[in-house]
Amino acid sequence: MKITFLGAAEMVTGSCYLCEVDETKLLVDFGMFQGGSAADDLNFNDFTFHPAEIDYLILTHAHIDHSGRIPQLVRRGFQGRIITTAATKDLCSIMLPDSGFIQETETEWINKKRLRAGKSLVEPLYTSEDAHDALKYFEGIEYDEIITIHENVSLRLRNAGHILGSSILEMWVKENDKEIKIVFSGDLGSKNSPLLDHPTMIDEADFVIMESTYGNRLHPNSRNKALQLLEIILETVKKKGNIVIPSFAVERTQEILYELNTLKEAKESKLKDIPVFVDSPLAINATKIFERNKTYFNDDTIKLFESGDNPFDFPNLIFTETSEESKAINFEKRSCIIISASGMCDAGRIKHHLKHNLWRSECSVVFVGYQAKESLGRRIVDGAKSVKLFGEEINVQSSIYSIEGFSGHADQKGLLEWVSGFKKKPSKIFLTHGEDEALTELSRLITKNFGIANEIPKLGQTIELSPCKESSVVKERSFASVASIQTNIDHLKNDFEALLEQLQEAASAGEYVKTDELYYLIDELQSTVKDVKNKVK
């Protein structure tokens, strides 16, 4: 069996693995790359396979960095079966069309600028209609059910505890009358989740493909995260400011609502009268899907629902669906809590709320999830003094917080505990879905604590797995193509021209250029140069 690492290799986003078993080809996940122009270019790259030749796609969960390019795959010819949990199928029915709408909207905005500049127009990655077309290939199955999808391939989905319906994939593969078992961890959940059970422990595997997002970090105590949020809210309200929470529409928004519900119901709570706006149509629809899929929750949450206490609903909670309702939030005369998507601030209504609140020193922005490199959210968390929103430079004057305890990912301790659950140690673990520091540290600890061989595969690398319990690199597949390199060179040229234009305008007006803005532009250019060099190699 061969596995090619087509995403989430030496990076966090774009999860995708091509598995080849004799003549059968299947994909595990087909996610979107996220975080800046370099990631966008990867999304538009030519595939290294023919979509029509893919027989199956196994989807671990609905997050866009795992599912987000499925409509593109179908658009280019895939007609196989997409197997996932029933809850993931439900969530994808709203998330993928929403993603398609965002692709269309952003492309329309880009094309207006290109038209004014006399440049050729570009196509969206896919459309909302493409997403709806893709949904007809989805099949929902239940946890713990072993199914045979081919005479040589069987699989089972286990609870990953990450988001509603998220799964760990166990796959049994027969070749030459011998069988090996491969486990794909998907994204493993945190034990701090108030909604979901812990990730399932797996007894045995020959090979494991494992996520490493927080391989070098520990989350704070689960109760501390709620108390920290409470302190931030009360301090901000005291200053008469707003609390803006960029939140992923699926799972994170619902967990925040759960915690706010608990805080508001506490005796002598000071939060009772503070309005909470959920300003994301996707989050609103996702919350309805959560309420319809109660069996996926842990026992405590199920009991809450059975007692008539909906943990996602409380007084002064306002769901805003229309753009008019969304805009009206910014004219509120009292302090409020605004929960809006996207969680990394790269799209959606959150950008409007940041534009209205980032420059206000009395306001707070609270990040409650992972921020990919080069994303707007990451730049704010890393201390950017100003950011550009809708063509306007916005100074960052508000208080910026990051509460890692809300993360849906297992931290370093949780990841190591999951590895310790193997009664029969795997021959090798392949570490993916992490940044360099997280991958390196987790690799060191797995070797030290368990003596298990492990490896950090490269993007595009193909590895052959065999029943003799060894693995070998078959070949390195280059992602470079004339089209993708030319795209990066075009970006580089445009960025240089923009920088020169800004410097010339400032010089002719006798003005100074802010050094932080200049350094940011230079960093962006260097990043693009590095990406072009890597692709040429």
Phi, psi of 174 (to 5 degrees): -110, 130
Same domain, 105 and 121: yes
Do 213 and 226 have their domain in common? no
CATH number assigned to the domain comprising residue 321 = 3.40.50.10890
User: Residue-wise over 373-385: b if at least 16 C-beta within 10 A, else e?
Assistant: bbbbbbbbbeebe
- Cβ(387)–Cβ(376) under 8 Å? yes
Residues 193 and 153 in one domain: yes
Residues 246 and 281 in one domain: yes
What is residue 316's predicted lDDT score, i.e. its pLDDT?
Answer: 93
Q: In a structure prediction context, what are the per-residue pLDDT tens digits for the chain, which is 537 residues long?
A: 999 999 999 999 999 999 999 899 999 999 999 877 777 889 999 999 999 999 999 999 999 999 999 999 999 999 999 999 999 999 999 999 999 998 998 899 889 988 998 889 999 999 999 999 999 999 999 999 999 999 999 999 999 999 999 999 999 999 888 999 999 999 999 887 889 999 999 999 999 999 999 999 998 766 678 889 999 999 999 999 999 999 988 888 999 999 999 999 887 788 989 999 999 999 999 999 999 999 999 999 999 999 988 999 999 999 999 999 999 998 888 999 999 988 889 888 999 999 999 999 999 999 998 888 888 999 999 999 999 998 899 999 999 999 877 888 999 999 999 999 999 999 999 999 999 999 999 999 999 999 999 999 999 999 999 876 556 555 555 454 444 455 555 555 666 666 666 666 666 666 655 555 555 566 666 665 655 555 554
* Domains identified in the chain, total number: 3
Instruction: Look at residues 345, 372, 406 and tell me which one is the last residue of a structural domain.
Output: 406
Instruction: Check whether residue 392 and residue 416 sit in a common domain.
Output: no
Q: What is the pLDDT of residue 79?
A: 97
The pLDDT assigned to 476 comes to: 54
Does 425 lie in the same domain as 444? yes
| Cβ 409 vs Cβ 190: under 8 Å | yes
Find the domain containing 496 and state its range.
482-536
**Contact predicate 411/218, CB 8 Å:** yes
d(CA 409, CA 406): 9
How high is the pLDDT of residue 113?
86
191 and 268 co-located in one domain: no
Last residue of a domain, one of 388, 406, 424: 406
Q: Distance between CA atoms of 362 and 456, rounded to whole angstroms?
A: 44
CA distance linking residue 218 with residue 412, whole number of Å: 6
- Same domain flag for 272 and 205: no
pTM: 0.82
Tell me if residue 293 falls in helix, strand or coil. Answer: coil
pLDDT at 347: 82
